[in-house]
Amino acid sequence: MAVLNQKSVLDMIKEFRRNWHTLCNSERTTVCGADSMLLALQLSMAENNKQRSGEFTVCLSDVLLTWKYLLHEKLNLPVENMAVIDHYEDIRRTYEDFLKNSNMLDLIDVYQKWSVLTSNCENNANISPSQLSDFLSGRQHAVDDETDLHVPTSPMSKHNQDNEKVKLLAKKIIYSYLNLLVNSKNDLALAHVLNIPDRGLGREAFTDLKHAAREKQMSIFLVATSFIRTIELGGKGYAPSPSDPLRTHVKGLSNFIHFIDKLDEILGEIPNPSFAGGCILSVIKMQLIKGQNSKDPFYKAVEKVAQDLDLRIKNIINSQQGDVAFSATDISPARPKSYAINHGTAYCGRDTVKTLLVLLDEAAASPPTKNKAELLYGDENTIHHNGTSVLTLFRSPTQVNNSLVKPLRERIHESIQEKKIKMKQTLIRSQFACTYKDDCMISKDKWNNINSTSKPLCVLHMDNDLSEGVNSSVGRATIETSSGNVHLDRNDADQQVSDLPTRPVDSSQHAPEHWRKRKFELFKGLIIIQNLLQIKEWA
């Protein structure tokens, strides 16, 4: 049996693209390659395990077992003697829903649609289900390696291996940006580039976006775009609620959305696909290598990959123009109106999108990765980039146990009370603050420890020598400290006034009685004010 090569798979995808309007609902539907199919299956199995056991995880052996069964079951190959994992039907349903929501078709779906188109043609004999199964599982590459065992292979140093990994990483990141630009519903591509370069959008931000997308039944990119647009254009009336978890990621999401907007502007404003593709790759390259040393491996890898893809875009455009010039009869002169697009207004970048789709289809037709464990569970750790596996990124972070945390209403009430107490302590007290029990509290022990020379008042013992007509009781000037309060008796003030030295009253002056009473009240008021000022200064 002939071995299926990459060119045959790519020809199958090209035939699907030429008849996309009869096979799918969107021209921007992207093809899911073998590696992406395996990642989508892993996420579907982890989601199914979370619903049943509460843990978003799955082991490698179960993924490989289900992957083998999925290929045979979808391609209608015999599965009688094959082991199958429990709840396979639920996993298959979750897998199909994930691809549908991401506007993607895997290679098996493309093969089935292509088989319908070519059912009456001889080209259908070029690809068989078993050949496609071997291609997706990577079995044919193992056969090729066995046939080349007699050819000695040169050992590769660890430095060269690291450089090769960095180059593959840079290629995957740039392809993910292009995939997201063409198909904004592709959550798998968004997961690869959301925090590359570092925007502060880690697992917590991705989890918040994922939950919001599931609640609103939208793609993750559309949720992030609508959130940023609402903040920037909606005004205060459309501001998100304080309880919205996306409020803490406004800066990072804004940077990401603005960068994709810049790519969309290039796509829509430059009609030449060759120039537009080069500008898009240049902008992505500058974003990835910004702030890095030109001698870094990641810097060199990004430049090399961007240069190769730019050259490949130009070759694709030249080959398309040559095919049109060679056979102009392949293009229908009167396309149905439902599929007609105005190149000048509604869809200026349609040719650029078609070119990028060819580039992405070539990547989807690439052979699968040999090391499945590194693809599914390996974190992409390089010197200048700390990546996270897709399974880890889609897994929600461990929630903090809030059993000891008080309810929100109680916390708000306590915060308000603390602010009130703080404001009350910083109030400016008036000169009569000593008359209020709660505002001026003097400890009895503190009062007793004060030096006697610092007392504001002195105890006076004098008899009342005022002349007749003035009714004031005899007493002494004291300061009572009961309950920690400063208390000044009115009779004490009278006593202090009576203690003032007085001149003998000259009876010959015959001063009126009301004048003597007025003079007495004046001295009495002065004594009270003087004592209060001294108490305030001492306190």
- What single-letter DSSP state applies at residue 495? H
31 contacts 23 by C-beta, under 8 angstroms: no
Kindly report, residue by residue over 490-529, the tens digit of the pLDDT: 455 455 545 545 444 444 445 566 667 777 777 778 888 8
pLDDT at site 473:
39
Burial 407-446 (b: 16+ CB within 10 A, else e): eeeeeeeeeeeeeeeeeeeeeeeeeebbeeeeebebeeee
pLDDT at site 158:
66
pLDDT at site 67:
92
Percent of the chain surpassing pLDDT 90:
23
> What contacts 308, CB < 8 A, 6 or more positions away?
none
Mean pLDDT score, 287-296: 86
Range with lowest mean pLDDT among 163-172, 236-245, 473-482? 473-482
Mean pLDDT score, 283-290: 92
Mean pLDDT score, 300-306: 91
In CATH, which superfamily holds the domain spanning 159-323+346-396? PCRA; domain 4 (1.10.486.10)
Q: How far apart are CA 260 and CA 256, in angstroms?
A: 6
Q: Which of 39, 312, 296 is nearest to 178 (CA)?
A: 312
Mean pLDDT score, 144-166: 61
Mean pLDDT score, 291-295: 83
Name the residue type at position 128.
S
pLDDT band at 339 (very low <50, low <70, confident <90, very high): very low
Range with lowest mean pLDDT among 50-64, 71-85, 296-310, 385-399? 385-399
| pLDDT above 70 for 421 | yes
Range with lowest mean pLDDT among 157-161, 164-168, 414-418? 157-161
| pLDDT above 60 for 214 | yes
- Extract long-range pairs of 193-202: CB within 8 Å, 24+ residues apart: 194/256, 195/252, 196/288, 196/385, 196/387, 197/287, 197/288, 197/290, 199/251, 199/252, 199/255, 199/256, 200/249, 200/251, 200/252, 201/249, 201/252, 201/253, 201/256, 202/388
Q: How far apart are CA 274 and CA 266, in angstroms?
A: 12
Domain regions of the chain by residue span:
1-141, 159-323+346-396
Q: How far apart are CA 282 and CA 307, in angstroms?
A: 9
Kindly report, residue by residue over 345-354, the tens digit of the pLDDT: 345 678 889 9
pLDDT at site 28:
87
- What single-letter DSSP state applies at residue 32? E
Q: Cα Rg for the chain, rounded, in angstroms? A: 43
Mean pLDDT score, 6-25: 86
Percent of the chain surpassing pLDDT 70:
66
For residue 106, the cross-strand partners are 32
Q: How far apart are CA 298 and CA 304, in angstroms?
A: 10
128 contacts 75 by C-beta, under 8 angstroms: no
Mean pLDDT, the chain, rounded, equals 74
| pLDDT above 70 for 294 | yes
Kindly report, residue by residue over 232-267, the tens digit of the pLDDT: 887 666 667 777 788 888 888 999 999 999 999 998
pLDDT at site 154:
52
